Each structure stands twice: as C-alpha cells, then as structure tokens.
Structure 1
Amino acid sequence: MASPVVDSDIAFIGGGFRTTTFLSSAPALLRHRVRVYERGPGVGPGGFARYGITTTSIGSRFFKHLDLSGPFAPLAHSPALTDVAHAEQPVAMHRLADALTTLGRTLQSALGTEGTRLDSTVVAVHADSDRHRVDVQLADGSTESARHAVLATGRTERAHPELASWRTKVLLSGSVIATARRSEIKGRLLAAHGRPVVVAGSSHSAMSALQILLDLRTELRAEHPGAPLPTVHVVRRGPARLMHDSADRAHRNQVPGRERPFDPARDVCPATGIVYRDSGLRHRSRALYCALWAGELPGATLVDAAVLADASDRFEEAAIVVQALGYRGQAPDLYVDGVLVRPGDSPDRLLADDDGALLVSGTAHPLLSVLRVEPTPLDRRDNTAYASDLYQRLAGRLDRLTAPVAEVSA
C-alpha cells in the first residue's frame, strides 16, 4: 500500500516543553518529516517563561531523557542547558525557560523552515482511517496533513464549578505566579484594605501562589508602613499528598518498582513525626506546606473543608480568591472519521495507553498520540514509574508507524 501524500510524517500539536524534550530524546525521529505547530513565537519554553517561581522538581529531571547526539551534540557545551540538566536541586523557572529556549532553537534549526509553524493555533485535528492521514486545521482557515499527529498541547486551569458563587473575585493560580502580573497582584493586595485572601487548594500551584502572596505582603509592609494587609487563608479539601498516616502504613502501602523504598531514617521527620511520601508535594512546596501546617507562617492560616462550600464564610469575606485546584489537559477539537469525538472544551481527560496512543472509546488509535497532556491519573499517583519509559516507547512506535512501506517490508 502506498503512503498517503501528506505535508509531514509526524505533526506535533504544540511546541513547548514536552515536544522539545521528546524530540531531543529521540534524534533519529528527525529523519522523518516532522512538523511542529506552536501558537507562540518560538519552540521550547512554552508557558514556563511566564512564571516567577522555582521548579517543583530538581533541574536534571527535566532533561533526564536528553540525547546530545546528532543535531543536539553542540549543546553539550551550552551553559544555559547544562547548568540545569546537571542541577540536583530545584531551579528558578526562568533558568529552565532559558535552557528550553536554547534547546528549542537547536530543534528549530534541525527541522528547517518547513518543520515549524510558529504563531499558529490548531483548532481541529481530523483523523481519517480510510485515507491513513490526519488533517490539521489552523485558526487562519488553512489545513495541512500528516501521517500521524501527536497532541502535546499542555495543560490549563479551568474555572472550577465549586467557586462559581465567587467568580468575580477569583484569580487562577497561574496569573498569581506570572511575573507579568506581579505589580497588578501587589496593587490588589493593597487595595484589599486588610480583607483576607483565600487560596483554594493545597497543591504545588497553591504553595507557589502562597509564596508569591507572602513575598508581596513583605514588600508592601516595607513600602506602606501601617497599611492594613490581608491574611492568606489556604483552604484544603483533604490532607496534602506529602505524607503517609504512619510508618506502618508507609511499609504496607509500598508498591515495589513504583515508589522509592521507604526508609524510616530518611522519610520520618524526627521533630514532627511526619512520614513523607515519595510523590506529592516536594522541595520548597513541601517545606512551605509543613510550615503552614505547623502554624509557623505569619500572615497565613490553614483551613480544612471537605468541600469548598464548607468554607463559604471565608470566600464571602475574601477580597481575592485564588483558584489552585489543579490543571487539566487542553486540546483542539478532535474528529475521527468525520465524527467529533472530543470537543476542545470537553471536561473529559485525554486518555492514552502506555505507548502514548490516544484512546478513543477505550481503543488505541493508530493515527493519534498524546504526549503527557493530562496530569498523572489518580490511580497512578504514587507510582514514580508511571510514564517513565513513555518517551522511549512512543519514539519506537512513531518510528514504526511512519517508516516507509519498503522499509517496513524489509
């Protein structure tokens, strides 16, 4: 069977962190006709360049699959990349963004002018099983085709229904930690005239937002002595995922091959007795949460509410509500054989198998893949092995699917 006449072999929808690190982990894929569609002005950093926070993982984890061979070989001497790739501690987000920008420029050069579509928003992806092709529809009305499409569109915060009653004063956590909005947030804190700020959630994004709010309070106290400043209430719906209930439970719940083995000497705090988990809050976020939990953060309190409505009095009196209730995958409209199987505004998760193939009604689709768009599934939360070999498995699958027919026959 002849290969379809298409514009590219593999179309990546999104050119941020996932696409950049994936392709730099599998340089051999670049022998195929790869095209990257990115809505921003360049491949690489995605949204990371916007955030004035520290990473939630150590720097080296972001580049653990990096293969500095082929077109990426010169980057072995790039300080911007190697400083982060060798870091064994969290790094400032702007350093990660700089490293990804450097990597992205090299990838763009390797792809050539036909391999990137910058400032291009994909609004729909049409998979046609009979024609063995995928059509990529752009916002400007044009359509391009590929033999396979990989959804690497990242995540977004969506308005949470439990906060609908207070929507007019809700800020998404991403806007609070964005460097471009720092002055605006600072002004809003001053304008609150002492009315509290409520952070809904106790995730990494909640702790990042809390840190920014506390930093801004400190700045305002120095700039406006005597001005009333808001207290920050953090509303959690359950215990943060940073601890086991006991050392005994840590032993009993250990899943071999999934979590780092529990070590009482390392994982139990001698002062508080907290039994840390291998996953969940880490590094600076974990330390901040523990200080909050212990009542050691001036100007911040922890509030328990099984559902957010249980803390309605807090939300009512707040001047600002920060939503930090997690991110969800985003994607364009997805069509399979002319049928809309998932609209872009769908609340449904983008599910994939262990090879990255998009699951449509539970079946892996041969023309579509997903590159870690959704957060870790709830049933895999404490599994540090989850998706650890995804890059390798997906690269092998894409290589096979887009190999010339003669090569497959051989």
Structure 2
Amino acid sequence: MDPRSAQPVVDSDIAFVGGGFRTTTFLSSAPALLRHRVRVYERGPGVGPGGFARYGITTTSIGSRFFKHLDLNGPFAPLAHSPELMEVARAEQPVAMRRLAAALSTLGRTLQNALGADGTRLESTVVAVRADSAGHRVDVQLDDGRTESARHAVLATGRTERPHPELASWRANMLLSGSVIATARRSEIKDRLLGAQGRPVVVAGSSHSAMSALQILLDLVTELRAEHPGAPLPSVHVVRRGPARLMHDSADLARRDQVPGRERPFDAVRDVCPATGIVYRDSGLRHQSRALYCALWAGELPGAALVDAAVLADASDLFDEAALVVQALGYHGQAPDLYVDGVLVRPGDSPDRLLADDDGALLVSGAAHPLLSVLRVEPTPLDRRDNTAYASDLYQRLAGRLDRLAAPVAEVNA
C-alpha cells in the first residue's frame, strides 16, 4: 500500500524552513517544483540574500558558481534580461558580497511572485519542526505560536558561529568573525582598535572567515594610521592550529607552486575534480583568501604575523595580552528543534551535525527520514573534504525526490 494513500489535509506540499541563498537557488533550479504548493518560511523581510547582505567582503568563489544551477525557464525566464542578476551569474571572478546579495534579492522577488501571496511567511521564525510519520505530515511551529502543516519539510536554515570552548577564557574580549566582517559594526571595531593602545589583536583560525576578518582589520588599521598619525595601533596575529588548505588555479600551477614539506604532493588524478576541473590542494582557501594567506605565511604582510598553536591554549600568553580576540574557527548548521513522532531527536542548540544522505534526506539514527530533508546546512563533512564533487548533484537529486513525494496519489499511480 502506498503510504500516501490516506494523505492528510495540509497547508502546503513542501515547506522550506529558511528563505536565503540555498532555498532561492534551489527552487530556481527546479521550476517544475512550483506546480506543487510550496511555502517558504523566512525570518527576514525578504526571500533571497539571507545574511549575505550584511557582509562587506568579497565572495570566496567566482560569481557564476552561485548561480550555476539557475534554470531560466517558466517564471524565471525574465531574469535573463536582468543586468543585476546576470552580471553576477556570468562573472568569472569573485564579486563584492553586496552585488551577490542584490542579485539574490532580484531572484528572490521573482520567486516570491511565482509562489503567490500565500507562498511565503516573511519575518517568521520557525522554532520547531514536528514530523508525524504515522500521519504523513510535518508541523511547522512559529515563534508567535502558530502552527502550519506540510507533507514534507526542507531545512535550509543556514550556518552560524558558536563560541568555541577553547576560547572560553577570553570570551569577554572576543568577537565572532561574522561580527568583524559585517558592515554594521565597522565603526565600533575601529574604535576598539584605536583604544587598544598598541596591544595586539588575535584572530583564531586560518579559514576563509579568518582571512576576511584579517583583511578588514588591516584595512581599518590603515585608515586609523592616516586619521591619527603617531597613535599606537595594534598588530594582528593569526593563530592557526594546522596548515591551511589551499587550491590551485591549474594543474601546471599546482606543479610549479608545490611547497615541499607543507603540502601533500600533487596528484593529477586524485587532485583534479572530475565535475568542475578545480585543482584541489587539501583546502577550501582560494582567490583573495588564498593570496592573503600565502602573503601572511611568507611574512609579506606588514603589521600581521602567523602563529602556530596545535591547541589554542599554547598561545595563551598572546590571547591574554590581546585587546581583541576574533574567533574564526568555522560554522555549524543551525536548525529549529526537531521532533519525530513526538520525540525530540535534535534540539536547536545541539552540537551534533545535521546529517543527510546523497539525496538530501535527513538521517535520524542513521536512517533517511521520508518527511524531512536538509539543503546543505552543514559545512562539507571532514570525511568528504578531499572530494570536490561532494554534493555537486544534490539539487537535481533532491528536486526529483521532492517532486515524487509531493505529487498527488492519483498522479503517482497514473
């Protein structure tokens, strides 16, 4: 017997929890899904840019990669004539984050129009998702007490930074990297640098977010030097727990730029992605972050230094002296409380990763759940980090599965 033969009455067929980059680009890659009743829950005022609009930095990937799945058919066809979107979608170099956010806002408005007045719940925070396997429905609970139902829910809630336990001793003096790269706090951070009276600033981590924070801090110190000649200004120390992971622009450059003793030797078969052609070097650092890190490692950045500490406590003297500590130690997937058959299987503050199979189905106790999916909420799993083809076909696979799950019974049996 088909488990959907007694389908309950629900408010939507597919509920997307989160209306930022992932939801917007996914739905615009699969216009056929919009024939179902799709509803998007977004805590912000509009669908599309998510948190990207807050960051005054350059993207870590070339612009075109953000829209590589875009399907300019159906409701999205007019976007082919949108300069704001297409200039980013065709860009073969990194772009300013504000340009990406503007392009996503354009795409988001088109998606909202396609979904209709009842297809979005803006400024709505989802606090719990309850999957009832027996009733074949999912309840989405909002922070205002309302509950709405769906046949399937997709978690696209993005990532967040959490205070790292290794930095607990310096938490009172700490900012998360997202706060440093956000434009809203630029003036405050500048005041803190001036008030440091020459004491150092320490960035913990050597990731993309660390390099973005480092660039912002160096830019602000340069501004302060011009505005306050002779004032004591801080140096910036980047504490890394291990060698950074880098990418090459080509196989020839990989062979030429090999750094003996710091990198695994280049292998033309293993280290070239079959899906994208990217030449992989054990890392996600690329473009401006890669260049900045290499300059830092080579000692070519005035006012900045690289410090090795296998555990952060090894650099405790430096952290103790610091006027400001910036945490850039990675992100965690965020989600509301998740219940299955009335049992809390993952609280929203859980440190556990949101695991999914290759089709995006949420794994609960190792088994794929039929009513819940995850849309690239977590960073790349550690055991898949050497595989640049990871999740490259997720949009296609997830779209096919959602289309089958949301189809009416009569259509499925036809």
Change in Cα spacing, 1:170 to 1:361, as seen in structure 2 (3 Å) is same
How far has the Cα of 1:382 moved from its partner?
2.1
Q: Give ranges in structure 1 of 5+ residues lacking alignment.
A: 268-275
* Matched residue, 2:270: 254
Answering whether residue 99 of structure 2 is matched by residue 95 of structure 1, we say yes
Asked if the contact 1:201–1:325 (Cα under 8 Å) also holds between the matched residues in 2, the reply is yes
Q: Judge which range, 326-335 or 234-243, deviates more.
A: 234-243
Contact 2:47 2:108 in 1 (8 A): yes
Q: 1:259 to 1:162 in 2, by over 3 A?
A: farther
Change (3 A) 1:226 1:259: farther
Query: Is structure 2 residue 166 aligned with structure 1 residue 165?
Result: no
Give unmatched runs, 5+ long, in structure 2.
248-257
Residue 397 of structure 1 corresponds to which residue in structure 2?
401
2:50 paired residue number? 46
Q: CA RMSD in A?
A: 1.6
8 Å Cα contact 2:245/2:282 also seen in 1: no
Counterpart contact for 2:204–2:327, Cα < 8 Å = yes
Equivalent residue for 1:225? 229
Selected match of 1:137 from 135, 141, 149:
141
- Which residue is equivalent to 1:322? 326
SS of residue in 1 equivalent to 2:270: coil
Residue 200 of structure 1: aligned partner = 204
Aligned partner letter, 2:350: S
Q: Secondary structure at the match of 1:195?
A: coil
Match of 2:391 in 1: 387
Distance in 2, matches of 1:252 and 1:398, equals 37
1:313 paired with 2:317, answer yes
Alpha-carbon contact 1:45-1:101 (below 8 Å) kept: yes
Change (3 A) 1:256 1:176: closer
Secondary structure of the 1:359 match is: strand
Q: Secondary structure at 1:120's aligned position in 2?
A: coil
Does the 8 Å CA contact 2:16/2:153 hold for their aligned counterparts?
A: yes
2:348 aligned partner, one-letter code: G
**Structure 1 residue 249 displacement after superposition:** 2.3
Instruction: Please give the alpha-carbon distance, in whole angstroms, between the structure 2 residues aligned to 1:154 and 1:134.
Output: 20
What is the match of residue 273 of structure 1? none
Which letter maps to 2:404?
A: R
Q: Is the 8 A contact 2:276 2:389 kept in 1?
A: no
Pair 1:153 & 2:180 matched: no
**Which residue of structure 2 lines up, in the alignment, with residue 332 of structure 1?**
336
Matches within 5 A, 1:257-336: 277=281, 279-336=283-340
1:178 paired with 2:182, answer yes
Q: Report percent identity of matched pairs.
A: 85
Q: Which residue among 107, 110, 115 is the counterpart of 2:111?
A: 107
Could you report, residue by residue, the CA deviation over 1:382-402 in whole angstroms, capped at 9, with x for unpaired residues?
211100000000000000001
Does the Cα contact within 8 Å between 1:199 and 1:323 map onto a contact in 2? yes
Separation in 2, partners of 1:261, 1:15 = 30
Runs of 4+ aligned residues of structure 1 deviating over 4 Å after TM superposition are: 243-248, 255-262
C-alpha separation between the residues in 2 aligned to 1:256 and 1:401?
A: 36
CA pair 184-113 structure 1, distance change in 2 beyond 3 A:
same
The amino acid of 1:406's aligned partner reads A
1:260·1:278 contact (CA, 8 Å) conserved in 2?
no
The correspondence for 1:123, drawn from 117, 124, 127, is 127
Contact 1:29/1:399, CA 8 A, preserved across alignment: yes
Letter in 2 for 1:382: D
Amino acid aligned to 2:105:
T
Contact kept, 8 Å, 1:353 with 1:364, in 2: the verdict is: yes
Say if 2:180 and 2:213, in contact at 8 Å, map to a contact too.
Answer: yes
Matches of 1:17 and 1:408, distance apart in 2: 31
Counterparts of 2:358 and 2:106, CA distance in 1: 30
Is 1:216 aligned with 2:220? yes
**Which residue in the other structure is 1:190 paired with?**
194
The one-letter code sitting in structure 1 at the alignment partner of 2:138 is V
Q: Deviations over 1:34-91 (max 9, x none)?
A: 0000000000000000000000000000000000110000000001100000000000
Q: Please say if residues 259 and 383 of structure 1, whose CA atoms lie closer than 8 Å, have aligned partners that are also in contact.
A: no
Q: From 66, 71, 75, give the equivalent of 1:62.
A: 66
Instruction: State the match for 1:75 in structure 2.
Output: 79
Pair 1:278–1:78, CA change in 2 (3 A): farther
Alignment partners' CA distance in 1, 2:283 and 2:314: 28
Amino acid at match of 2:162: R
- If the length of structure 1 is used for normalisation, what is the TM-score? 0.95
Say whether the 8 Å CA contact 2:41–2:125 is kept in structure 1.
yes
Does the Cα contact within 8 Å between 1:258 and 1:382 map onto a contact in 2?
A: no
| TM-score normalised over the length of structure 2 | 0.94
DSSP-derived class of the 1:48 partner = helix
What is the SS of the residue equivalent to 2:191? Answer: helix
Shift of 1:362: 0.4
Paired residue total: 398
Q: Which moved more, 1:245-254 or 1:176-185?
A: 245-254
Residue 89 of structure 2 corresponds to residue 85 of structure 1:
yes
Which amino acid in structure 2 is aligned with residue 15 of structure 1? G
